[in-house]
Amino acid sequence: MNEFLELFGESTKTSLGFFWKSGWAFILGYSISGMIQAFVPKGSLTKHMGKADLESISLSTLFGAASSSCSFAALAAARALIKKGAHFISAVAFMFASTNLVIELGILILIFLGWQFLAAELIGGIVLIVISSILIKVTYPEKWIKEARQKVENEGAELEDEFDWKDRISSKEGWKLVGHKFVNDWKMAWEDILIGFTIAGFIAVLVPNEFWSNLFLVDATGIPSWLIRIENALIAPFVAASTFIGSMGNIPLATVLQSNGVLFAGIMGFIYSDLMVPPLVSINAKYYGWKVALYIAGVMYVSIVITALILSYAFSLFDIIPESIHVITEITQFKIDYTFWLNVVLFLVCGVMVWLNFSYLKDHSMKMIDMEGSGKLKKIIVRSLIVLNLAGLLLFLLT
């Protein structure tokens, strides 16, 4: 019993350590994201997304990188793009970009995994979009897409119209909008972050290394290395889907995999698979129907596997694949270092953003948005994990 309580306390400490290590990064990332969303005009971009050409896909990628990193928001925005006439390939490019090329995700990857993974994420994000675009062009299910487009004709929120960014950035109203975007991003993502970080903390402590070694053939003998690399890339998306964690929440768990010797191809495949979790596939089914939702998931899976393998071989060629040197207990330590001071400064920034949001809501007499994906079951899980973390923290402090 004492051993169980000790492990429980250590698991909670690790989970909260993940929060502590990345708290400043989230605030910085979402602050910058809020400014991009508030001050970068996007209305004119949507007029040029109606074709499956280089310009349309490039603009969709740029639009996605300037959007929120929340997976649920990415799906909703992609649906709105399709409603406004964007080509299906452009909408898929937008989804990949908004969950792989945003600044807040990059900061988190840099903190937990290192610069090689950040470089791979950025390069691979472009490769992923190129491969998925080619796959959709080759296999384009015209009848299914036509039916899906008709389905969203009367659905989806309108995207923001054009504006003068110089006027907005120099106005109080513009900065209040930044605070509003900041809080909206948190509102959309905090549940996934909580679930992902808590699961990662408990897995890091409670799941034995042998489990990951067996699953990803880490210590396998007699099997060619190229075959193990392919196995890692093939199985990683299914591991990611089984966690039910979207977007930002899966980076700590990717760190756990990296610390247990999972190959570079497997980790990148895991990170890229945030749009394949069942709740997100279900939302796509609601938007476009199950045939198109499963088609999107299939295209994503094939694209992710190919991209992960390309990155793995390319980074091997240049001898820059990182070794498994991260120790979770060291990453999640609480101490007075740069993380402490960055958290102090950025938590003050967070307070300013919250105040700006309150001012915005007061001026506009409107409620915060309610993103799809926060169903009753998810709310129960989130509340349970909050209680679990509080209980574990108390236990750790008392033992």
pLDDT digits (tens, 9 = 90+) for 88-146: 999 899 888 988 888 878 888 888 888 899 999 999 999 999 999 999 999 999 899 88
Per the domain annotation, does 1 fall within a domain? no
The number of folded domains in the chain is 1
Per the domain annotation, does 129 fall within a domain? yes
What is the rounded CA–CA span in Å between residue 308 and residue 288? 28
Whether the CA torsion 259, 260, 266, 272 is positive or negative: it is negative
| Residue 163: per-residue pLDDT | 78
Provide the domain limits for residue 38: 12-398
**% of the chain with per-residue pLDDT over 90:** 27
| Residue 1: per-residue pLDDT | 64
φ, ψ (nearest 5 deg) of residue 230 = -65, -40
Per the domain annotation, does 173 fall within a domain? yes
Model pLDDT for residues 290-333, shown as the tens digit of each residue: 999 999 999 999 999 999 999 999 999 988 887 765 556 566 66
What is the rounded CA–CA span in Å between residue 352 and residue 35? 14
Whether the pLDDT of residue 45 is over 70: the answer is no
Per the domain annotation, does 145 fall within a domain? yes
Per the domain annotation, does 357 fall within a domain? yes
| Residue 371: per-residue pLDDT | 52
Flag the least confident range among 50-54, 76-80, 156-160, 233-237: 156-160
Model pLDDT for residues 190-217, shown as the tens digit of each residue: 887 788 788 878 887 888 888 888 899 8
Per the domain annotation, does 4 fall within a domain? no
Per the domain annotation, does 237 fall within a domain? yes
Helix, strand, coil percent content, the chain, rounded in steps of 5: 80, 0, 20
What is the rounded CA–CA span in Å between residue 77 and residue 54? 20
What is the rounded CA–CA span in Å between residue 260 and residue 271? 16
| Residue 32: per-residue pLDDT | 81
| Residue 41: per-residue pLDDT | 73
Looking at per-residue pLDDT, the higher value among 159 and 333 belongs to 333
DSSP state of 162: P
Model pLDDT for residues 47-70, shown as the tens digit of each residue: 777 787 888 898 888 888 877 666
Model pLDDT for residues 336-373, shown as the tens digit of each residue: 777 888 889 989 999 999 999 999 998 876 555 555 55
| Number of DSSP helices (H) and strands (E) in the chain, helices first | 18, 0
Per the domain annotation, does 349 fall within a domain? yes
pTM for this predicted structure: 0.79
When the pLDDT of each residue in the chain is averaged and rounded to a whole number, the result is 83
